[in-house]
Amino acid sequence: MDVEKLLRFCIEKLVDNPQDLTITRIESSDRIIFEVRVAPEDRARVIGKEGRTFKALRALINLPLEGNPHDLVIETA
């Protein structure tokens, strides 16, 4: 399964401005980082109360779908 597609699917359902969503995959020797950029007004939706949504997204992408551990970074556009 493509982790980036899964992440995009989930985040598009959370935000009001899915056209502003960009996901960049950054690979290093020991992990894969997904940098997520959303509109400033959608940032709180992606992070959630006390970071619950962010933690859930991070847990989802760290399921053993691919070999390397994954990490998630959220920024506003």
User: Which CATH number characterizes residue 67's domain?
Assistant: 3.30.300.20
pLDDT score for 51: 93
Q: pLDDT 10s per residue in the chain (77 long)?
A: 588 899 999 999 999 999 999 999 988 888 888 899 999 999 999 999 999 999 999 888 887 655 667 777 766 66
CA distance 64 to 59: 10
- Structural domain boundaries, residue 63: 3-76
Sheet of 32-38, strand order: 22-27, 32-38, 70-76
Per-residue pLDDT at 65: 57
pTM score = 0.81
Q: Into how many domains does the chain fold?
A: 1
